[in-house]
Structure 1
Amino acid sequence: MEKGRRLLFWAGILFVFAAASVVFLEARGLEAQANAPASVRVDGVIIDTLAGYGKLELPVVTFYHDQHTDALAKQGKDCASCHKKDADGKLSTKFMRLADESAADIKEIYHSECLGCHQEMADTGQKTGPLDGQCRSCHVDKSEDTAWQPIAMDLNLHARHVQATGGDEKCATCHHQYDETLKKTVEAKGKEENCRNCHLAEPTKDETGLLVSSYSQSAHSACVSCHQDFAAQKKDTGPVTCAGCHSVEEQARIKVVKDLPRLKRGQPNATLLVTMAGDKPKASMGPVAFNHEKHETAVNDCRSCHEGKGTMDGKFFELAGDMHLRTNMQGCIGCHDAKQEEKLVCAGCHGQMPVNKAPSQDSCAKCHDSSLKDLYIDGAVPAKEVAAARAAEAVALRDLRVATIAVEDIPETVTIGSLSVTYEPSKLPHRKIVERLIKDMQGDTLAGYFHGQDTLMCQGCHHNSPASKTPPKCASCHGAPFDPATPDRPGLKAAYHGQCMSCHTAMKLEKPSNTGCGDADGCHKTK
């Protein structure tokens, strides 16, 4: 009996030792796999291929790509060590294969190739990754713990690629269409489309049954291969590492093209926007004269406004959703609201203004031009050239200067002293504030177009009262103490502080400080 207890005791000791050893080895494997915290890395590739074949036995693998390419480079090896090239000479994004055969084959490729490479390095005394049996060192899901940032082929980056590949006549370097007869991709001059028109988020089959790679797969295969080819020719080229494209620091270093050329897609300088019900226009409010050329300078790419597939006959893309929804960032109202938040001078007023659930008829007429309704009488649709000409006329007539009242009509200072008890009355440099706001807004066509009324600037502070050169005092509405029955109408003290402090916060003004009541640069002086 005593002998049996001793055996169990030593067996337990051996088990604890073995378990501790496994944990230690796996920890060392993880240490070798990542030289920096995952939260600051951008090269974590999640390998979950087998999830498409059924439930995974272990968590997905987080693979640090740049770490491995750096290690291979030190050995004089390149991407071909892990990736094969297809018939067109482009690197496959798949590991050591061009296509997926079966779950068993894929699993065998990963385990034999990855672990085999690690074992070869270990045998020669080199620092390496996890070895056979250290499963959890690879199978760790860190998909949420990354600094990876998406990158888009915006207008600036597109212009740089046009310059690098030889100009507008070399579009086929990147753009192509699949020819069913020839069974290959060919140049389609004048019919180039956005890559995402064919390459979607996941691999798909087109109407002919052809398997079309995902956008991610096609982008990495085409871009990295091209960059490598340029590098082999000793030419300036783009990055071939994850961090080169997907880190915030590297994206900030992308050179900006001066005098960005206009992307030529057959789009008009100006056009009329009107809702269509089938083939009939709905122009009861009047169409919107839209300055397309100007809006192109305010967005990063065409997909900022457009989505879906289209043709070159003027309907290259369909508009994305309701243009009036504030939640639709591809619509007019949503985009304009976002611009107001971005620019601090706008945020001071617009950050506090209530959203009108039912806009007035006057606000609708700011965009919808009733003088253009004659083009749509009895359901008629004007020719594209006619619509463009009338839209251009309407756009040219717009006064885009920010309107304001005469300087002498703006009080130089305003003394706020009705609540003065502990502090001296506050002297507001009224004219200076208004002039600074006007100065910062001038030159902004969005602000100019929507601030065409001379007293509109006053409404930022003097809200809920008729626009006037002599608006009523704040106490006219906020003189009574706060009443829970009217929660949107604070008392006078709260109204003053809420209005002034909220504006300073939105505009990120440090002086006067929101909390420095009696400071030297504050609003009040202690009695």
Structure 2
Amino acid sequence: MEKGRRLLFWAGILFVFAVTSIVSIEAQGLEAQAKAVSEARVDAVTIDTLAKFEKLELPVVTFYHDQHTEALAKQGKDCASCHEKDADGKLSIKFKSLVDEDPDTIKTIYHNQCIGCHKDMVSAGQKSGPLDGQCRSCHTKNPAASEWQPISLDKSLHFRHVRGTGGDEKCQTCHHTYDEAAKELVADKGKEQNCRNCHMEQDRVVNEELTVRSYAMASHEKCVTCHMEYTAKKKASGPAKCAGCHSAASQAEMKVVENPERLMRGQPDHTLLVTVKDGKPQANMGPVPFDHKGHEEYVKDCRSCHVGEGSMDGKFFELAGDMHLKTNMQGCVGCHKAKQEEKPVCAGCHSQMRETKAPSKDSCAKCHVESAKELYVDGMIPEKEIEEAVAAELVSSRDKTVMTITDADIPEEIVIGALSDQYEPSKFPHRKIVKKLIADMQGDNMAGYFHGQDTLMCSGCHHNSPASKTPPKCASCHNKPFDPAKPDVPGLKAAYHGQCMGCHTAMQLEKPSNTTCSDAEGCHVKKK
């Protein structure tokens, strides 16, 4: 009996020791993980390969790629330590395999290779990552905050790649199409398209066979591999680490080519934008003459407007959503509105204007030309040359001169005294401000075309009255004091301050600032 108790005692001690060891090991792993994720990172890669086969038992693994690349480099190892080469000698983006076979195989590869590498490093007396039993060190719900930034091949970066790979005749270096008959990728000279025309967010799988890689997978395989090859040949190249492309700091340091050569892919200098339904243009409203070449100068790349659906040699290239939607930054109205808010001289008025007001027919006619819809009657499609010629003529005929108002029609000074109590009436330098706004708009094509009416700019302040040289006073709508029966109409004092201070803020005026009330530069002088 005594011997049995002693055995039970030592068994308990061993059990406690084992549990303590496991907890200690796990705690050390968690401590290392916590240290690793203490700062926001750019190189976090989510390993969720098993998710497409089965429901995950543990959280996905967040793998810090640059951290591992740097650790391997110190040992004289490179990407081939983790990535295998295919039949063409290209590194696979997948870990220690070329294809994802089945869940058990994938799990075995990750566990054996990752933990095995960590064990080897520990045996060699080096610091390393989690070992057996430290599952939660990798499968954590709290990965590092991400500072990863998307990157696009804008006009400047694209031009640098064209020049670096041999010029416009070497487009096949990056661009290709799939030949169904030959079952291989081939060059399609002159018809190169955006990568996203084929490569979408997810892999395309047909009959359990991968037919088109995802955009992320395709771009990393192509770009990183090419960068590495150029570096090996001691040629100027791009980065091979995550942070080199996807950190804000690296992007800010990238060389920008001013005014790169125009990328010609069959796009017109001018065209007519028309609604298309079931593949046929609709003539229920006049098309919009569009200066395509002029707009190319203002955008970063084609995807600033186009969603990437369609072909370069097709009649219609799909745009992104509603062109009139103010929240659609790839549409006309949304983009124009954003430009208005970026430019202080525009923002002063446009930030104050009501967003819910429906556009007038005159406003529609500034873009839509009724006479041009005859080209599309009964679903007809005009020849490309005719369409471009008509669009060019209509664009060139636009008057882009900012209309001015004669000094005699602009009161030199407006005295605002309806609320004067503690302060003297405010003296508003009306003519000076109006003429300054008009002068600042001169030379701006968009401002010139859309401000073709001399009194239109008056609407910036006199927002609920017809455009006129003699608009009604503010007090005709805004009561003194605030009228609870009109909750959407501020009182006179709030209206004045909201309009004036809001304009000063939007125009980023320093003198007077929107909080300068009664000093020498302010609007109010205290009564004596």
Normalised by the length of structure 1, the TM-score is 0.91
**1:393 Cα deviation (Å)?**
0.6
Determine the C-alpha separation between the residues in 2 that align with 1:424 and 1:13.
85
Determine the C-alpha separation between the residues in 2 that align with 1:111 and 1:244.
29
- The equivalent of 2:399 in structure 1 is 399
Q: How does 1:135-146 map to 2 (within 5 A)?
A: 135-142=135-142, 145-146=145-146
- Aligned 8 A contact 2:148 2:247 in 1: yes
Deviations 1:3-41 (A, max 9, x none): 999999979975885475245312343156x2x634x21
Q: 1:207 to 1:309 in 2, by over 3 A?
A: farther
Q: 1:521 to 1:454 in 2, by over 3 A?
A: same
- Partner letter of residue 118 of structure 2? H
Determine the C-alpha separation between the residues in 2 that align with 1:292 and 1:80.
46
Q: 1:472 to 1:184 in 2, by over 3 A?
A: same
Determine the C-alpha separation between the residues in 1 that align with 2:452 and 2:256.
33
- The equivalent of 1:161 in structure 2 is 161
Determine the C-alpha separation between the residues in 1 that align with 2:406 and 2:353.
25
**1:496 Cα deviation (Å)?**
0.1
Q: 1:223 to 1:14 in 2, by over 3 A?
A: same
- Aligned 8 A contact 2:22 2:133 in 1: no
Determine the C-alpha separation between the residues in 2 that align with 1:139 and 1:278.
49
- The equivalent of 1:318 in structure 2 is 318
Structure 2 stretches lacking a partner, 5+ long = none
- Aligned 8 A contact 2:26 2:136 in 1: no
Q: Tell which deviates more after alignment, 455-464 or 396-405.
A: 396-405
- Aligned 8 A contact 1:176 1:186 in 2: yes
Aligned with 1:319: secondary structure?
coil
- The equivalent of 2:478 in structure 1 is 478
- Partner letter of residue 260 of structure 1? P
Aligned with 1:478: secondary structure?
coil
Determine the C-alpha separation between the residues in 2 that align with 1:208 and 1:59.
26
Q: How does 1:405-424 map to 2 (within 5 A)?
A: 405-407=405-407, 409-424=409-424
Determine the C-alpha separation between the residues in 1 that align with 2:207 and 2:316.
20
- Partner letter of residue 94 of structure 1? K
- The equivalent of 2:304 in structure 1 is 304
The CA RMSD over aligned residues, in Å, is 2.8
- The equivalent of 2:487 in structure 1 is 487
**1:413 Cα deviation (Å)?**
3.4
Q: 1:493 to 1:297 in 2, by over 3 A?
A: same
**1:173 Cα deviation (Å)?**
0.4
Determine the C-alpha separation between the residues in 1 that align with 2:191 and 2:316.
10
- The equivalent of 1:255 in structure 2 is 255
Determine the C-alpha separation between the residues in 1 that align with 2:50 and 2:78.
26
**1:280 Cα deviation (Å)?**
5.2
Q: 1:430 to 1:50 in 2, by over 3 A?
A: same
- The equivalent of 2:442 in structure 1 is 442
**1:285 Cα deviation (Å)?**
3.1
Q: 1:379 to 1:148 in 2, by over 3 A?
A: closer
Deviations 1:283-331 (A, max 9, x none): 3432211111111122222122222432343436212332222233322
Determine the C-alpha separation between the residues in 2 that align with 1:513 and 1:485.
33
Aligned with 1:178: secondary structure?
strand
Aligned with 2:477: secondary structure?
helix
Determine the C-alpha separation between the residues in 1 that align with 2:129 and 2:243.
21
**1:345 Cα deviation (Å)?**
2.5
Deviations 1:86-134 (A, max 9, x none): 2233221111111111111111111111111111111122121112211
- The equivalent of 1:353 in structure 2 is 353
**1:357 Cα deviation (Å)?**
4.7
Determine the C-alpha separation between the residues in 2 that align with 1:8 and 1:125.
33
- Aligned 8 A contact 1:272 1:287 in 2: yes
The answer to whether the aligner puts 1:451 opposite 2:441 as a matched pair is: no
Q: Tell which deviates more after alignment, 309-318 or 196-205.
A: 309-318
- Aligned 8 A contact 1:62 1:142 in 2: no
- The equivalent of 1:37 in structure 2 is 38
- Partner letter of residue 196 of structure 2? R
- Aligned 8 A contact 1:416 1:428 in 2: yes
Structure 1 stretches lacking a partner, 5+ long = none
Determine the C-alpha separation between the residues in 2 that align with 1:114 and 1:379.
61
- Partner letter of residue 37 of structure 1? S
Aligned with 2:185: secondary structure?
strand
- Aligned 8 A contact 1:90 1:222 in 2: no
- Aligned 8 A contact 1:404 1:456 in 2: no
- Aligned 8 A contact 1:267 1:314 in 2: no
Determine the C-alpha separation between the residues in 2 that align with 1:100 and 1:457.
63
Aligned with 1:317: secondary structure?
coil
Deviations 1:134-154 (A, max 9, x none): 111111144682111111122
**1:410 Cα deviation (Å)?**
3.3
Q: Tell which deviates more after alignment, 210-219 or 13-22.
A: 13-22
- Partner letter of residue 175 of structure 1? H
Deviations 1:35-92 (A, max 9, x none): x634x21101111111112121211111111111111112221111111122233221
Q: How does 1:258-337 map to 2 (within 5 A)?
A: 258-278=258-278, 281-315=281-315, 317-337=317-337
Deviations 1:196-250 (A, max 9, x none): 1111111113699662111100100100011111111211111111111111111
- The equivalent of 2:502 in structure 1 is 502
Determine the C-alpha separation between the residues in 2 that align with 1:317 and 1:136.
49
- Aligned 8 A contact 2:41 2:144 in 1: no
Q: 1:277 to 1:58 in 2, by over 3 A?
A: closer
- Aligned 8 A contact 1:206 1:212 in 2: no
Q: Tell which deviates more after alignment, 22-31 or 57-66.
A: 22-31
The answer to whether the aligner puts 1:228 opposite 2:228 as a matched pair is: yes
**1:401 Cα deviation (Å)?**
2.8
Q: 1:9 to 1:141 in 2, by over 3 A?
A: closer
- Partner letter of residue 46 of structure 1? T
- Partner letter of residue 25 of structure 1? Q
Determine the C-alpha separation between the residues in 2 that align with 1:450 and 1:84.
59
Q: 1:205 to 1:247 in 2, by over 3 A?
A: same
- The equivalent of 1:26 in structure 2 is 29
Q: 1:29 to 1:377 in 2, by over 3 A?
A: closer
- Aligned 8 A contact 2:402 2:438 in 1: yes
The answer to whether the aligner puts 1:59 opposite 2:62 as a matched pair is: no
Determine the C-alpha separation between the residues in 1 that align with 2:327 and 2:28.
50
- Aligned 8 A contact 1:46 1:141 in 2: no
- The equivalent of 2:72 in structure 1 is 72
Q: 1:11 to 1:83 in 2, by over 3 A?
A: closer
- Aligned 8 A contact 1:415 1:428 in 2: yes
- The equivalent of 1:244 in structure 2 is 244
The answer to whether the aligner puts 1:368 opposite 2:368 as a matched pair is: yes
Equivalent pairs: percent with the same residue?
63
Q: Tell which deviates more after alignment, 54-63 or 280-289.
A: 280-289
- Partner letter of residue 158 of structure 1? H
- The equivalent of 2:216 in structure 1 is 216
- Aligned 8 A contact 2:194 2:308 in 1: no
- The equivalent of 2:342 in structure 1 is 342
Determine the C-alpha separation between the residues in 1 that align with 2:207 and 2:395.
43
